Amino acid sequence: MKTKKIPAFLCAFVLLFVATLPLPHSVAKRAQAFTPLDEIEFFHIRVIPRADATLDMTYTLRWKVLDSDSEGPLEWVKIGVPNRYVENIVSNSSSVEKAEYLADGGAYIAVYFRKKYYAGETVDFSFRFHQKRIYTVNGNRAEFRFNPGWFPEIRVRDLTVSWKKEGSTYSNANAENDEWLIWSCELDFNQKINVDVSYPLSFFPSHDPHKQFSDAYVSPKSILIGGLIVAAVVAVILLALYLASTRAGDGYYRYRGFVSNHPFFPRGFYTRGVSRSGKKYPPASLVAVKENSSGGVHPSGGSSCACACACACAGGGRAGCARKDFTSSESLSADGRTAEEENDKP
């Protein structure tokens, strides 16, 4: 049996076509060389559990600006938190104008600075908040699993998590003292650590089993408001279509044969002056004369052009703020192992 050879020109065409295909986002992103905008010199987190299994958390950072030319000076950052169930957000840092919750494809606290920071400058800031719905019940244990956060394009030179030790029966901390469980490491681009702590459930006498862990970041109220806005937009569009169709029922448009006056246009568009039965409509000029109650003819000219062009380019805060949020990434344990390498512990 003979095999047909593929023409050389066809092979060349296929290779050229494949070469022009876009790389997957992750591959393309890694292929692009970039200069980091910022560096985090230290990122310290302190965690103190309450009797109801909620947490008081304090974040303290020193943020250094490396590049203020590419995307402008540093004006604000957003720091990831476990979920939307945060409250009592407070910052006493003189550098901070305000700190507030932000749902932006995830759960964050947005920190807005009082001034702009340029290359070579550092800003120290701290904020605290009350975090709810972060534990899970496993038999007679209360378990906390927490990822402090990570930065896709920023190195963290010193990450330290200090968790109040009292009452705990297990943790994967890499150090401890009489008062604190301690996780300490350096994070390269896109790396994170896993913080695991267990307690006897009896240590939290006022816990509510109906308020265990949630990864929600948008409130039901926001979802409802979004649904109402979508419904309102659809209603306006339907109303516009209805009004346009009823206008088609007047003498001029009717005899020009545009559309019927049914709101959903069952007869279709542009009947070209002929009815569905084949009967020709009278010329539009005669209709206009007939329907003009004043007895005069009002000529009509020009064109109707509906051009809806909206360019909404909203910018706020630091131009490169997307480089400062927390997204999924390679996960490291406190001793440098990936999450896949970290065995589950009782």
Confidence band (pLDDT; 50, 70, 90) for 12?
low
Domain boundaries, the chain: 31-217+323-332, 221-281
Residue 82 dihedral angles phi and psi, to the nearest 5°: -60, -45
- Residue type at position 268: G
Return d(Cα 14, Cα 39) in angstroms, integer: 44
Per-residue pLDDT tens digits for 294-314: 443 333 233 222 323 332 222
Confidence band (pLDDT; 50, 70, 90) for 9?
low
Nearest CA to 260 out of 282, 276, 237 is that of: 276
Does residue 233 surpass a pLDDT of 50? yes
Per-residue pLDDT tens digits for 85-108: 999 999 999 999 999 999 888 899
* Share of residues in the chain with pLDDT > 90 (%): 45
Return d(Cα 51, Cα 54) in angstroms, integer: 7
Per-residue pLDDT tens digits for 22-33: 555 444 444 456
Hey, what CATH class is 31-217+323-332 in? mainly beta
**In contact, 53 and 135? CB cutoff 8 Å:** yes
Query: What order do you get walking across the sheet with 74-80 strand by strand?
Result: 74-80, 107-117, 96-103
pLDDT of residue 240: 65
Please tell me which residue, 304 or 1, carries the higher pLDDT value: 1
Per-residue pLDDT tens digits for 310-344: 322 222 224 333 333 333 344 454 444 444 444 44
